[in-house]
Amino acid sequence: MNFNNVSDAIMLVFDTLKDDPESVEIIELIDTAEGDEAIKDGLRKAVKRLDVVNLAVSKTVQEKAKGFAF
What is the SS3 assignment for the chain?
CCHHHHHHHHHHHHHHHCCCHHHHHHHHHHHCCCCHHHHHHHHHHHHHHHHHHCHHHHHHHHHHCCCCCC
What pLDDT does residue 1 have?
79
C-beta separation of 17 from 25 below 8 A: no
Give me the chain's average pLDDT, please: 96
pTM of the model: 0.92
Q: What is the pLDDT of residues 36-64, one digit of tens each?
A: 999 999 999 999 999 999 999 999 999 99
Spatial CA neighbour of 46 closest among 60, 36, 34: 60
In the chain, where the domains are located: 3-64
- pLDDT more than 70, % of the chain: 100
What pLDDT does residue 22 have?
96
With bands split at pLDDT 50, 70 and 90, how would you rate the model's confidence at 16?
A: very high
